[in-house]
Chain A
């Protein structure tokens, strides 16, 4: 955190000043570790075992927060008879379909009901989703004594019982004593009087089981009663300045604004069906229709009427997986003509740069918007394959359009940060020369397209022509007014057009329009709420008047959990939100995240529906059952509970299950994307992990172009332990060549004890650390680390596995003769096959896992 969120880290230091214990779990000793009370080095890719060990510790020593667990989590819920655990099936949960390469979640459900999750995979791609109409969560069977062997609590307890300190040591290389220290101080600092928070970023996410890492943390926090309470929670430290904003109002292919799912072509055939499949009969998501209809009204205004499903059909409908890597793979197979790259430098920043360049070579046209002509914009003449003369610019037909972009200092807009806090930034100066903002580019592109199609009678063009596309512009560049966009996002009454005060005002009948329901309220009373800058000293410690947080300026989500079932704060020390008996309302430091006047004593009647199903003790209102999910009956593609799987490429066999890797992981089984052996590949004996440096930013275009930053970390280097240096004859400050089946890079060597050899019980594992910021352009140049990394991803969010892979290291500089797998002959010994999946049980041929379009496979048969 100190490395990558130094400014946010000041608050960690504040907490430390006040006596908080800082624990840092990381394969390396980083600038964060330097500030920590406790630093735990572990083997990259083994955190589920570590966290699972903590769950087990909590269970065995009964350190869980009983009142919280029984009332606020789904611990008491009884799971259907057919559910079978990984412990029984050696790494599989029940419902695995080898031919689909994915799970059927039927058997994971609560007994007697099926619920929709708050987020995630709200339904599966394949097969008809189950409609949830009429579901009564009260129909779900519970055992408040938590004794029933099929209740969630017992299932979780059984599931993690094998995650003992010894197994942790075996898997992570963490001494039992050190592990005990962590588990104990975590429990000691949780409960009524104290809370603990988890902070993570991509060290946890960039794995083929990434989502389950965070799930494990969630289970711990729920068991310890650390959710919805001040000083608790799980903080996802986001990446780019507004990356949170770009998931809220998504740049993701499978989401609409506000986490509404993108319609699927094969069954969301009408608005009615779409709503039927997605609204939850119970909990907050029963409001689904209001948000969807308001969104459609925001898109197509006048044209959107009840009779035409509010232009629902204009929406693009998904035919399958269009995630980043799948798209690039399709590109490489010649399935795409054009590509927009705005604010990204994938040939450096994304996995397997060579495959990215191959993909772009197959395009007709490419648009790049960036500050500088990046490695990506120059893909047609810049890359190892050109050095080696395997490809020459003349043979590349792709036409590249480069648009210089305006920087954040040169445009108005918001940043949404980790805390869901929207903060407005004002343009300080005009963008120089031809540089324009994203808003300018998109608005004027849309305007011109609409002019072009102006007189088209074609039905297919209605979607474009009916769009509400009128935004006031200003200045010599005709810059669209960003506030006008925020107004639209906030939402307004269709007649009159005055802004709504929040999503409670939204209606399913087309009388309101709203660009993103969770952002509704950001322009309440016609005031730009994110622009508020009232100093903390002039307001309460929650500082509600600094910026604006979604939803409804709430600073802590699910904060009803900060009070006990009777509505009183768990403790005075930790009072935050509580039930005011006199007024008969919820009140407190923050905006209560609950139905304002619903008393703690309320229990839904049998025939309750919609939000009425939320009882007085259901803090997690976004969940259909109002409870925090220790066990996720729905929403995840790779299991209702986390289980430790080894990375796609590992140095050891999975110590816990016969199943080596996440069975549902996404693989791209292509010639040009070879994998190493699942474990113990003699050619690639070391673990490689990649990460960032404070001095540079991601793919480097924002830092390597600056001499002041470049001089601080002037060259790509690898970090190795003195032992490994000894073993390989690597010299500090000298050169090393690091290779995988995908590619080969040269780096300087930094011999340091900060990247220790990991001691498992039976063997020692050496790790190689690589910051990935370098590319061939800018002041500070170096090989791109992602030439080494393969395409493989987590099934739930298709994030790449760039934090744990295997490779080799040799002293000396890179050869220039070696071929890359995307051009010329396949590199020698690539495509190592080994049983990542239990033969027969797992999908065969290997590599057809996860969500993907059928076609993208065919491409490979040739």
Chain B
């Protein structure tokens, strides 16, 4: 199962943010006025598993006319991507992070030891460490609701179906149709981010993918994310090569040094 988030119908109402906190009983993380448009949440974290971004952009959408001229307001609800190749999961030394029967990425709180390695492993800066006991927390895709056959709280609360939950293949078809529809209506910018392996080879595709209308950077998403382990090979070989050399050097030092 997964999420298709269509940012072109997001009205930035933050119902998803609140529904998530309410269902998962997450506390507020501070009353701070940020001055970043209407985004006073800032980012995803241990106590915020949904985050709505507000991008005031000095460029118009190609299918919108406003008296403000070159301006548009992009709204987008961000969440854990439940990657096909999850950096967090592959990094986790304890096996606390697992792939569930719903093909989602879930952190088992009772096994996590708070080593924090997953946090450096996530190419999207999603998972974060609880400030009190140091364990890692993130969106569970409402694992408990899924088990009861309910859709996740955020998707349920979304009034405009910007967050669509369901079977991945169906979502992908829907998403592709939607892009065509939008292109046909003159919104040429519309494209899918992370819909599948071809679209985002570095992560093998995202189970929570997005329909965007500007470069990923604008939404604070990496343009070409990669699961770090894809690059581990080079590091390991370099390490073993260097190790071998060290052994060699040691031998030489011993032999030469010991010669009378």
Contact = CB atoms under 8 A, between A and B. Distances in A.
**Do A and B touch directly, given a CB cutoff of 8 Å in the complex?**
yes
Interface of A: 2, 6-7, 9-10, 13, 29, 31-42, 174-175, 178, 181, 693-695, 707-715, 717, 732-733, 748-754, 756, 779-780
A714 B159 contact: no
Contacts of B18: 708-709, 712
Which interface class (under 10, 10 to 19, 20 to 34, 35 or more) fits B? 35 or more
Contact of A694 (B9, B14, B34, B161): B14
Shortest beta-carbon contacts, A-B, top 6: A733-B35, A714-B31, A707-B28, A39-B66, A2-B11, A711-B28
B40 A713 contact: yes
B218 interface: no
B13 A748 contact: no
B64 A36 contact: yes
B31 A779 contact: yes
Given A10-B159, A707-B28, A39 B40 contact: no
B111 to A, nearest CB: 29
10 contacts: A2-B13, A6-B15, A29-B71, A32-B11, A35-B9, A178-B65, A712-B40, A754-B68, A756-B67, A780-B31
Interface string B1-19: 0000000010111110110
Given A34-B11, A752-B37, A754-B56, A710 B63 contact: no
Interface in B201-255: none
B11 A35 contact: yes
A29 B73 contact: yes
Interface of B: 9, 11-15, 17-18, 21-22, 27-35, 37-38, 40-41, 56, 58, 63-68, 71-75, 159-161
Contacts of A754: 56, 68, 71, 73
Nearest to A37: B64
Contacts of A13: 9, 11, 160-161
Contacts of A708: 18, 21-22, 28
Nearest to B39: A712
A37 B28 CA distance: 35
Contacts of A695: 14, 38
Nearest to A6: B13
B32 A714 contact: yes
A295 to B, nearest CB: 39
Nearest to A759: B67
A443 B74 CA distance: 51
A720 B161 CA distance: 32
A781 to B, nearest CB: 9
B9 A29 contact: no
B56 A752 contact: yes
A34 B21 CA distance: 26
Contact of A31 (B11, B27, B41, B68): B11
Contacts of B21: 708
A161 B37 CA distance: 42
Nearest to A694: B13
Contacts of A33: 66, 73
Given A6-B159, A9-B160, A710 B68 contact: no
B160 A10 contact: yes
B64 A39 contact: yes
Could you say which of A35, A40, A717, A756 has the most chain B C-beta atoms within 10 Å of its C-beta? Answer: A35
B159 A39 contact: no
Contacts of B31: 707, 710-711, 714-715, 779-780
B64 A715 contact: no
Contacts of B65: 37-39, 178, 181
Contacts of B32: 711, 714
Contacts of A34: 11-12, 72-75
Could you say which of A42, A714, A749 has the most chain B C-beta atoms within 10 Å of its C-beta? Answer: A714
Contacts of A750: 35, 37
